[in-house]
């Protein structure tokens, strides 16, 4: 039992913290941070700052110039990066690229790695992951997948709509999940370079959140032809398994980054509680406010412990399915509570964009939905309990 | 004891309901509904439709062409109007005008009524109420009022910043609270026509919510001269009392309108739960979803009862201070829960602007802050309990 | 719309309030209030006091010497009676007798009324209602009824276990639900005088709550013979319908009585918050405490409104199924929250029997289970929403 | 970062688990487990079984025959022991003795250790800790201490009432906190052998909980004479500091033990959800139930992480004041939620003493009050946040 953070990770965390505070936070009012996320132009400028700071790319494997961080290492570093929502953008450890890098590292063949992974890992490109579909397709239940991939010569023809595809606009390539047969669980992943006229971005959707570069798009695949070497992994029933390879740790890195944002919101609320007065004393001298700060601290503390524990399991090689579900539910709900309380403590200023808390609040609300809404995880966890599969 | 809604109010509610569904909801994707609220251009178009429907202005006193509704009558009608957030805009029963009309009816002198109230009541103008100030001024604690009104000849010179002033941009006049002495509780209300170069709108603030025409502005009063007949009511210590005249019922009409929006969110979520499937059945066949619908129903039902009860007290002539505080806390929190659950049931679509639920969610969150954050009301209620002043 | 309480009900409420305070509360530490409820000896003594006060029996129809109160009248009176948990015992308006009286009034034939209802209504006897069974029988799902009634000559032979039967010990008669056929929904109600050796009380069960005279028993019916005129209503499929006749209003009278207890707990907590000090001021001057008092007030206020609204519907002749479900869920949970907060405010004394709050806390927890646990009502309400049957 | 439990602790946990299941749980319906806790007779019988199992005393230092467990070791072992509330009694690791042992180890002089600590550590005696007083004395705020110790020759005369003193009845000695001067913070601890006629046990108080041997007593010290060598530590201002030595880890061992009980409740509820049916399927197939099981798992998991983290800090020599406060609040509330949900899943059986869940529910409720109610900890934590003292 050892909760100490190794010194080199403490140092890394401090470096990232300084970088975020000095180089990134000043950009939070940059108009290029649009309602559809930061523009690529802003992203590239921030990436440049990260390079100057010697932190780009830091989280990928050493072969691509990174530090080859463990899951626990990421827990420490991504929390620090998330102190500004632009931090992970600047440091190239944001979704969906961060998860796509891991997926490609585990499943791609050497040629695919060279063509897709290497430039992505080095931060030269962006990517997207196309699983979710509009009703009645794959949503919380990926088994409802409707996009089809029909064999065609040495390749496939893909047809079907995708939806809420983060980062599609501007991505250099897509990983697309499609049905390659009629049986249950038939799902294959395909790689395709972008732009491609048959991968038609119909709309960048207006959403509650705004931290993903490229926003979230609806996409129509209309006769998208891919060659046989576009298959990621195997054709057939493994698509969902690969998606899990991506999703379980990806859920956890989301928790890490948003935990950083929750801490930011809490710090801003704390500052306000110290300086703003009401009814003859600082807000923080009112228990109605200070109890919220105490609850924030507890939620932050507990969320961090949940993340660390799951990261430790993943580092041991455990799949940590139940634990990453628990961490996702607990963290997404705790982080949302912290954002909500922080906004409430701020009062009037909380509902304005004068502080970043307003954005954090919207962002953390959306996190309770994506990567599996709380209800899907509770349903899966409840089943595990009943079937005696929690351990 | 009688909960029945009189037939004429049922008829009115049905008429408003039809109007909102047929004439207003189709405008919810109108680009003139900006992030700073509907433009005046859109508002006027919608007002025109309300006139055509014979519903404009409906809530004001008969002398101004309205129905002279009681508080309870408003509870019925405003809930129906709020089914679209554009409904109260169209029907001219939105904040802050609705509350300003009441304030002027109770406090203004005949000349002021003619000049300010009449065109406002008839829906020819808009207005704003300038109480809130940036730190360290009047916020949750109006006693921290910093804007000053110095006597000057037969009038006053006003100086000081106001903030989060809903509807200031485009208003035909402002009601401004300012300190006319150094004693505790010294506050006077002043009327001033707009625009006026000394009433400087510095910024229309970016906010979480977006339903107020004109948005929320920061205003700098820099040597704003008003004549002696600009005083609303009396000079001196009555400003806060007048503000209460305005605020207690205004809180309640907010509850009425947002209740309508909560019902809308619930209806959209219900429709989604019926049609969208996951894991082999409609979402609604999952208790994880249907229990949220049940909780929505209960919150909506209870919020309505709280509103009706307070409206009945106000109609009896009771100040209903404690009850309107309870109604504000309960309704704002219940409505926010309904919006939150509805968004969660929608899942992915919930975080997009494809449905109006995303806007309702942001709007209802803001309502937990304005008109007294929950904490200020709980503090006041707790004191009443301890001092034996609940009845 | 009218929330005013008619003067005669205000007077009745005041009389009951005085009676409970002066004559009943002094008995709350009587050792005859055992962990299985008040003994019959104590009950009879309290009944005597009620007679002296001219309040016995007050809630039954005029034909039996009562006031023939409406549901709304009961809402007012039972809340006052419930200020002490011994109040409803003293005034003979406690469960299960109160509900059994109503059931017999609606379903019993003249002879049954004379034999069973009359002495019960006059408070000369007690009764019990035998529906619930141990696993795998009828619990939350009455459809799992296992007790059988086999035709035998001009009567029936009943066999099967019943469980958690409130008031069985000492009852003068039982109403027993049994299956008279194999079809779904086959259930008949039978009346039988007690004691009867074939109606074997196996155990008075140790339970969390302790306010029911006679406690809660497990009963084994072993060849219990009843004659044909023991059938309450009709043989066949109406048993569940009759049970609903009993249960919907019975749920509501529980809400009324426990609301009185919640108010009591809140009053005790308020007194403590005024007098006990910590960290230099009264507990109540700490917002951590005063906010709980404010929340108590809101829960009490809202629970009362939910009860009144459902009572009004019942008085109109409406079945009020959805509304009584909502009232049961809201009230049982709100009352439990009030008890929980009151106990917490009391701190150390709260976990002792020095105040009645400890009993109220246990009692209100149990109420979240019986008369349909929250989950069964939420399930039913959710289905109504989805099927468009809320109105 | 390392969450693995060392093998020897896993083995110890398994041994304790087997012991509790095989030897202790069968005693849970023993009538000697009274409403004032297990009798000494029952306790001694269970201690005998623990000796036979080679587990008595296991947690004390090696010099007294124990294993000299670290705080983390205790976290593992006490959770296993707590699977039955009689487990800690049997294994002599229950409050208040467990905390008193630690206090004496740290503060007592050699002679006191020989006379008081040695027999206590070996499990030959029981003890009590007398700090809490009735109003207006020391409660949540120990600074309100009223019991006085007047110098008298070479000793002191103690006068004053103590209250809610766990284990006083039957204790071999008491540690009494008394005021030895009028200054703020003047508090001294005294040791005194029992019984003593001047240490008058007025009443063993009826309480919600029932797991402490000897129950909770009210005590009147009436001219209790102690000699000079009865002072534990120093006379003067250190009494509160010593109490903290005792309280911070004692809070944590409470969390450990009650966590075991929460797991027990959850296991019982899980079994019920698997076997009991309603509406055509097992309860657990209803999401309304399975979501509660999922939430139980999350609360248990998070509570364990909070305990482990604080134990690790204490093992490092950190005072862990903030973290033990957070652990106390989180664990006591999480454990109470688990107990509440488990009771609710059980439904009818949940409110009976047929399962141990009913006792666990009452016990866990009380834990939210003692060792500092949630409000006192939130208040302290909020102050830390505002003063920048969380790290």
Chain segment A230-245, per-residue pLDDT in tens? 999 999 878 888 888 8
Q: Which of B322-326, C237-241, D38-42 has the weakest average pLDDT? A: C237-241
A208 touches chain D (CB under 8 A): no
Distance from CA of C122 to the nearest CA of A (A): 51
Residues from chain C that touch A286, judged by Cβ atoms under 8 A, are: 287
**What is the pLDDT at residue D31?**
97
d(CA A364, CA A38): 17
- Length of chain C as a residue count: 391
B242 within 8 A of B232, measured Cβ to Cβ: yes
**What is the pLDDT at residue C182?**
82
* Residue to test with chain D: of C134, C208, C265, most D Cβ within 10 A: C208
Structure tokens at C58: 């007050």
Task: Give yes or no for residue B391 having a pLDDT over 80.
Answer: no
C286: closest chain A residue by CA? A287
Q: What is the pLDDT of residues B63-73, one digit of tens each?
A: 999 999 999 99
* Residue to test with chain B: of A29, A278, A381, most B Cβ within 10 A: A278
C205 touches chain D (CB under 8 A): yes
A34 touches chain B (CB under 8 A): no
Residues from chain A that touch B362, judged by Cβ atoms under 8 A, are: 208, 362
Residues of chain A with pLDDT > 70, as a percent, come to: 100
**What is the pLDDT at residue D185?**
81
* Residue to test with chain D: of B278, B282, B287, most D Cβ within 10 A: B287
Q: Which of A206-210, C179-183, D304-308, D321-325 has the weakest average pLDDT? A: C179-183
Task: Give yes or no for residue C378 having a pLDDT over 80.
Answer: yes
Residues of chain B with pLDDT > 70, as a percent, come to: 100
CB contact under 8 A, A288 and C291: yes
Distance from CA of C325 to the nearest CA of A (A): 24
**What is the pLDDT at residue D57?**
87
Subunits close to A (at least 3 CB pairs below 8 A): B, C, D
B308 within 8 A of C391, measured Cβ to Cβ: no
Task: Give yes or no for residue A391 having a pLDDT over 80.
Answer: no
Please tell me whether the peptide bond between A366 and the residue prior to it is cis, using omega within 30 degrees of 0. Answer: no
**What is the pLDDT at residue A196?**
98
A32 touches chain B (CB under 8 A): no
D294 touches chain B (CB under 8 A): no
d(CA D130, CA D226): 15
Residues from chain C that touch A288, judged by Cβ atoms under 8 A, are: 287, 291
Residue A349 has φ and ψ, to the nearest 5°, of: -55, -25
Distance from CA of A140 to the nearest CA of B (A): 7
Task: Give yes or no for residue B248 having a pLDDT over 90.
Answer: no
Neighbour tally for A331: CB within 10 Å: 28
Which of A209, A343, A349 has its CB closest to that of B351? A209
Which of B140, B205, B353 has its CB closest to that of A347? B140
D110 touches chain C (CB under 8 A): no
On average, the pLDDT of chain A sits at 96
C207 touches chain D (CB under 8 A): yes
Distance from CA of A53 to the nearest CA of C (A): 46
A212 touches chain B (CB under 8 A): no
**What is the pLDDT at residue C183?**
81
Distance from CA of B364 to the nearest CA of D (A): 27
Size of interface A-B (CB pairs under 8 A): 127
ipTM over 0.90: yes
CB contact under 8 A, C352 and D139: no
CB contact under 8 A, C288 and A291: yes
**What is the pLDDT at residue B245?**
81
Residues from chain C that touch D343, judged by Cβ atoms under 8 A, are: 365, 369
Residues from chain D that touch A309, judged by Cβ atoms under 8 A, are: 3, 305
Residue B57 pLDDT class (50, 70, 90 cuts): confident
d(CA D154, CA D17): 50
Distance from CA of A122 to the nearest CA of B (A): 31
Of residues C312, C82, D154, the one with CA closest to residue B1 = C312
Q: Which of B100-109, B360-369, D231-240 has the weakest average pLDDT? A: D231-240
**Mean pLDDT, range B285-310, rounded to an integer:** 98
**What is the pLDDT at residue A73?**
98
Of residues D325, B91, D355, the one with CA closest to residue A294 = D325
Distance from CA of D290 to the nearest CA of B (A): 9
d(CA D100, CA D121): 9
* Residue to test with chain B: of D278, D279, D281, D287, most B Cβ within 10 A: D287
CB contact under 8 A, A140 and B347: yes
* Residue to test with chain D: of C272, C375, C376, most D Cβ within 10 A: C375
C192 within 8 A of C143, measured Cβ to Cβ: no
d(CA B323, CA A273): 29
Subunits close to D (at least 3 CB pairs below 8 A): A, B, C
Distance from CA of A390 to the nearest CA of D (A): 9
D287: closest chain A residue by CA? A379
- Length of chain A as a residue count: 391
Residues from chain B that touch C10, judged by Cβ atoms under 8 A, are: none
Distance of CA C212 to the CA centre of its chain: 9
d(CA B27, CA B41): 13
Of residues B58, B78, B89, B81, the one with CA closest to residue B166 = B89
Task: Give yes or no for residue B302 having a pLDDT over 80.
Answer: yes
**What is the pLDDT at residue C156?**
97
Task: Give yes or no for residue A293 having a pLDDT over 80.
Answer: yes
Strands B173-178 and B127-130: parallel
C5 touches chain B (CB under 8 A): yes
Residues of chain D short of pLDDT 50, as ranges, are none
Structural domains present in chain C: 7-95+106-121 (1.10.540.10), 127-236 (2.40.110.10), 240-387 (1.20.140.10)
CB contact under 8 A, D382 and A287: yes
Residues from chain C that touch A295, judged by Cβ atoms under 8 A, are: none
Distance from CA of A147 to the nearest CA of C (A): 30
CB contact under 8 A, A291 and D377: no
Instruction: Give the angle subtended at the CA of B383 by the CAs of B379 and B387, to the nearest 5°.
Output: 175
Containing C180, the helix (H) or strand (E) segment is: none
Structure tokens at A248: 């379980």
d(CA D107, CA D234): 9
- Length of chain D as a residue count: 391
**What is the pLDDT at residue C88?**
98
Residue A182 pLDDT class (50, 70, 90 cuts): confident
Instruction: Give the angle subtended at the CA of B25 by the CAs of B19 and B27, to the nearest 5°.
Output: 115
Q: How large is the greatest C-alpha to C-alpha distance in chain C, in angstroms? A: 79
CB contact under 8 A, A286 and C288: no
Give this prediction's pTM.
Answer: 0.98
* Residue to test with chain B: of A365, A376, A382, A383, most B Cβ within 10 A: A365
Subunits close to B (at least 3 CB pairs below 8 A): A, C, D
Instruction: Give the angle subtended at the CA of A208 by the CAs of A207 and A212, to the nearest 5°.
Output: 70
B379 touches chain A (CB under 8 A): yes
Residues from chain A that touch C382, judged by Cβ atoms under 8 A, are: none
Residue A286 pLDDT class (50, 70, 90 cuts): very high
**What is the pLDDT at residue A368?**
98
């Amino acid at each position: 039992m050892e909760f100490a953070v190794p010194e080199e990770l403490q140092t890394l965390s401090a470096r990232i913290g300084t970088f975020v505070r000095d180089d990134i936070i000043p950009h939070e009012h940059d108009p290029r941070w649009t309602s559809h996320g930061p523009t690529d132009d802003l992203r590239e400028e921030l990436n440049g700052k990260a390079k100057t700071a010697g932190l780009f790319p830091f989280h990928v494997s050493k072969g691509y110039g990174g530090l080859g961080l463990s899951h626990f290492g990421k827990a420490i570093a991504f929390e620090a990066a998330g102190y500004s929502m632009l931090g992970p953008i600047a440091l190239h450890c944001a979704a969906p690229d961060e998860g796509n890098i891991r997926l490609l590292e585990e499943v791609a063949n050497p040629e695919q790695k060279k063509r897709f992974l290497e430039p992505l890992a080095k931060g030269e490109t962006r990517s997207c992951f196309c699983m979710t579909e509009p009703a009645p397709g794959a949503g919380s239940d990926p088994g409802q997948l409707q996009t089809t991939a029909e064999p065609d010569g040495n390749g496939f023809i893909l047809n079907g709509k995708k939806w809420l595809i983060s980062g599609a606009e501007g991505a250099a390539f897509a990983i697309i999940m499609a049905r390659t047969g009629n049986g249950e669980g038939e799902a294959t992943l395909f790689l395709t370079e972008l732009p491609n006229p048959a991968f038609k971005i119909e709309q960048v959707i207006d959403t509650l959140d705004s931290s993903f570069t490229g926003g979230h798009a609806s996409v129509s695949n209309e006769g998208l032809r891919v060659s046989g070497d576009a298959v990621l992994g195997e054709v057939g029933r493994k698509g969902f398994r690969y998606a899990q390879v991506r999703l379980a740790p990806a859920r956890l890195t989301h928790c890490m980054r948003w935990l950083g944002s929750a801490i930011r919101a809490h710090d801003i609320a704390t500052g306000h509680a110290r300086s703003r007065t009401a009814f003859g004393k600082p807000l923080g001298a009112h228990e109605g406010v200070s109890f919220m700060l105490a609850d924030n601290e507890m939620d932050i503390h507990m969320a961090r412990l949940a993340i660390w524990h799951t990261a430790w399991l993943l580092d041991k090689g455990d799949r940590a399915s139940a634990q990453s579900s628990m961490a996702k539910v607990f963290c997404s709900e705790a982080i949302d509570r912290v954002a909500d309380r922080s906004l409430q403590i701020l009062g009037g200023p909380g509902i304005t964009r004068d502080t970043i808390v307003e954005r954090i609040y919207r962002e953390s609300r959306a996190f309770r939905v994506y990567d599996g809404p709380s209800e899907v995880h509770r349903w899966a966890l409840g089943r595990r309990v009943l079937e005696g599969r929690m351990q």
